[in-house]
């Protein structure tokens, strides 16, 4: 991850997200709605298996109304994986403080609590609170080995901050197959001179920053990959230790 600078709140946010959200919070608490709304007043309950149950904040996802603005504001870059998310690849709104958090439910509808995230990062982070907010970190806290493409905490960090960085790496699965494969794909293009560092800075800013930090600005400065890494299978492609191996078919005996 790299430091994220908060984008200004869009002019349309108040009417598209905050006011409808404040109405929802009042509705769920049984209070009068603070803002006028067009159409029929929403119900605070829903039917599940024939039974009436109370709705939750998640049943009113007004934050999706600002997804286009969020995408444009952050140039399509995932706040956690730091690469460009194509619009067809599931960009989504992540809540830094989970929308189910009872401490301040209004954060479910606040721009400053939203981060652009790819679907996989959003799934990994889920409602856990042990992931560092990209707004609160500094560049250089997360370091990349440009050979293995694995992420680790900077050795310059104090013990507490290093533990927080490590927890974020593990929770977001930054060193699992999918993110590593994405970084490898981008670096391969750079290694083959299909793209330059300026392109990586736009589409893979974390990778570009780490290359620059390590003094690498051209493909000639990259270390040659060991054969073991070139031919290495990604973890998700390998059978699990618990997964039974396919039984080989018995050889047919030749007829005498």
Distance CA 199, CA 201 (A): 5
- Give 179-224 pLDDT, tens digit per residue: 999 999 999 999 999 999 999 999 999 999 999 999 999 999 998 7
> What pLDDT is attached to residue 228?
56
At residue 16, the 3 state secondary structure works out as: helix
- Give 93-137 pLDDT, tens digit per residue: 999 999 988 788 999 999 999 999 999 999 999 989 999 999 999
The domain limits of the chain are: 1-37+51-131, 138-232
- Give 150-181 pLDDT, tens digit per residue: 999 999 999 999 999 999 999 999 999 999 99
Contacts of residue 201, defined as CB under 8 A and 6 or more positions apart, other chains included, come to 208, 209
Contacts of residue 200, defined as CB under 8 A and 6 or more positions apart, other chains included, come to 186, 190, 207, 208, 211
Q: What angle do CA 195, 201, 204 make, to 5 degrees?
A: 85
Identify whether the C-beta of residue 94 lies closer than 8 Å to the C-beta of residue 48. Answer: no
Q: What is the pTM of this model?
A: 0.84
> What pLDDT is attached to residue 49?
86
For tokens 């024939």, name the residue. 50
Distance CA 135, CA 109 (A): 18
């Amino acid at each position: 991850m790299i430091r994220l600078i908060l984008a200004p709140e869009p002019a349309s946010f108040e009417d598209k997200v905050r006011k409808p959200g404040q109405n929802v919070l009042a509705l769920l608490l049984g209070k009068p709605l603070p803002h006028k709304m067009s159409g029929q007043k929403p119900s605070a309950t829903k039917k599940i298996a024939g039974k009436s149950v109370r709705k939750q904040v998640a049943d009113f996802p007004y934050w999706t109304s600002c997804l286009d603005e969020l995408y444009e504001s952050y140039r399509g870059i995932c706040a956690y994986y730091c690469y460009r998310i194509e619009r067809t690849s599931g960009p989504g709104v992540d809540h830094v403080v989970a929308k189910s958090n009872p401490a301040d439910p209004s954060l479910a509808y606040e721009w400053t609590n939203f981060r652009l995230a790819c679907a996989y990062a959003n799934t990994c982070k889920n409602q856990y609170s042990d992931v560092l907010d990209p707004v609160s970190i500094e560049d250089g806290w997360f370091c990349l080995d440009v050979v293995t493409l694995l992420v680790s905490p900077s050795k310059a960090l104090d013990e507490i901050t290093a533990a927080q960085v490590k927890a974020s790496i593990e929770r977001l699965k930054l060193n699992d197959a999918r993110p590593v494969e994405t970084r490898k794909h981008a670096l391969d293009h750079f290694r083959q001179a299909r793209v330059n560092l300026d392109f990586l800075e736009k589409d893979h800013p974390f990778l570009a920053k780490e290359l620059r930090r390590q003094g690498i600005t051209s493909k000639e400065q990259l270390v040659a990959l060991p054969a073991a890494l070139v031919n290495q299978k990604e973890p998700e492609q390998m059978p699990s230790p618990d997964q039974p191996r396919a039984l080989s078919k018995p050889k047919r005996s030749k007829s005498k």
